[in-house]
Amino acid sequence: MKKNLFFIAALVLLPFIKLSAQCAQTANIYTFTYGGHTYEIVKEMKNWTNSAACAVERGGYLVEINDQAEQTLVFSKIQAAGISSTYTQVMDGGGTAYIWIGATDKFTEGSWKWDGTNANTGTSFWNGQGVAGAGGGSAVGNAFVNWGGKSTGTINEPDDYGSQQDAAAFALAGWPMGTTMLGIGGEWNDIALTNSIYFIIEKNNTGINEINKMDEIELYPNPAIDFIQLKNIEDKNAHIQMLNIQGKIIKNVLLSDVSDNIIETGSFAKGVYFVKITTSEKNYSLKFIKQ
């Protein structure tokens, strides 16, 4: 009977449980900032899907590399974090060690996106395969890439070896189709999503200070699907702004214009969102995940 009561209580309380960001232990996270972004190198072994979920839980996404400066800097921080180039072996990646980044073609083979939240959204940056595969691959709109072989002038990766390589990772040592070089950093390889390796989270600094206290305004359910509801707010003139992880305003409403403090979120893409609340007395910021 006690187990049943506990289970029922858990179901009742679940919508009110706040995001705890416990998918990774603080002791295993190496943090640095660059270009207005915060990065977290997480030294815990997870597959790509679980790594992306952890990134979302922590308010970010698997890292997106947009230029050579960012590539070189991030790779140097991997070394600064004290990660050995032999901490693990990825057998479908030449037997070397890797760290997950946010690139994948899991939704459409050969169409690579920066989709570090695993929501089938994001920016397309590469189509096709390198010369180690079918060949003919090319960057989309001159997007930056660092696929294996680039340093030699011949891009070998991605090659979808075994027809199961659907996510990209930094190589920490050379392999037959790629290398690591000073000033270039670890070249990228496509490997199987099921590999368990370290990963890197990127967060856009939105300037929002998050407040989630029991005696302050709260929102639930979290994660949300079709709506969120605000609790402990009486000021009907409060202005509500909803922002995505990039800091773009998705919705603007007055509390007086919604019923029972409920705000619809059904049309939102999956990911992390911030709710900025401006009242006559104080400003608040909260965070939720849209599933």
**Cα-based distances in Å from 276 to 63, 138, 262, 285:** 25, 41, 15, 5
> Mean pLDDT, the chain, as a whole number?
85
Tokens 């890197």, located at residue? 200
The CATH number given to whatever domain includes residue 260 is 2.60.40.10
- Which helix (H) or strand (E) segment is 71 a member of? helix 68-80
This prediction's pTM: 0.70
| CATH, residue 80 | 3.10.100.10
Instruction: Tell me the HSE value of 6 on the side-chain side, using a 13 A CA sphere.
Output: 3
Token code pair at residue 135: 């060949």
Q: Are 51 and 21 in contact (CB under 8 A)?
A: no
Model pLDDT, residue 119: 85
Q: What mean pLDDT is predicted for residues 137-151?
A: 95
Range picked from 128-137, 247-256, 260-269 for highest mean pLDDT: 128-137
| pLDDT of 8 higher than 90 | no
250 shares its domain with 148: no
CA dihedral (152, 86, 192, 180) in degrees, to 10, reads -10
Say what the pLDDT of residue 98 is: 97
C-alpha separations of 61 from 103, 143, 213, 245, 270 in Å: 11, 19, 25, 9, 12
**Tokens found for residue 287:** 């965070």
Q: Which residue has the higher pLDDT, 122 or 205?
A: 122
Domain total of the chain: 2
User: 225 and 199 share a domain?
Assistant: no
Same domain, 94 and 63: yes
**Domain limits at 81?**
26-204
Buried b (16+ CB within 10 A) or exposed e, 127-141: ebbbebbeeebebee
Query: Does 103 score more than 60 pLDDT?
Result: yes
Start-to-end Cα distance in the chain: 33
Question: Could you tell me which of 181, 164, 162 has the C-alpha nearest to residue 172?
Answer: 181
Interval 82-97: pLDDT, tens: 999 999 999 999 999 9
* Structure confidence at residue 288 (pLDDT): 84
pLDDT digits (tens, 9 = 90+) for 165-211: 999 999 999 999 998 876 677 999 999 999 999 999 998 875 444 43
In a shared domain, residues 139 and 279? no
> 159 in a domain, yes or no?
yes
Q: Which tokens sit at 96? A: 């070397």
pLDDT above 80: residue 243: yes
Identity of the amino acid at 109: E
Among the candidates 176, 204, 232, a domain finishes at: 204
Q: Confirm whether 16 is domain-assigned.
A: no
Q: Specify if 9 maps to a domain.
A: no
Of 235, 224, 230, which Cα lies nearest the Cα of 272?
A: 224
- Residue range 73-82, pLDDT digits in tens: 999 999 999 9
Q: In terms of domains, do 43 and 123 share one? A: yes
What is the 3-class SS of 202-253, one letter each residue? EEECCCCCCCCCCCCCEEECCCECCEEEEECCCCCCCEEEEEECCCCEEEEE
Do residues 162 and 35 both lie within one domain?
A: yes
Which helix (H) or strand (E) segment holds residue 61: the answer is strand 61-62
Collapsed DSSP state (helix, strand, coil) of residue 142: coil
How many helices (H) and strands (E) the chain has is answered by 3, 19
CA-to-CA separations, 257 to 59, 238, 254, 261, 274, in angstroms, rounded? 28, 10, 5, 9, 19
Length of the chain, in residues: 291
The pLDDT assigned to 1 comes to 38
**Range 89-92 contact pairs with CB under 8 angstroms and sequence separation of 24 or more:** 90/169, 90/191, 90/195, 90/197, 92/161, 92/162, 92/164, 92/165, 92/191, 92/192, 92/195
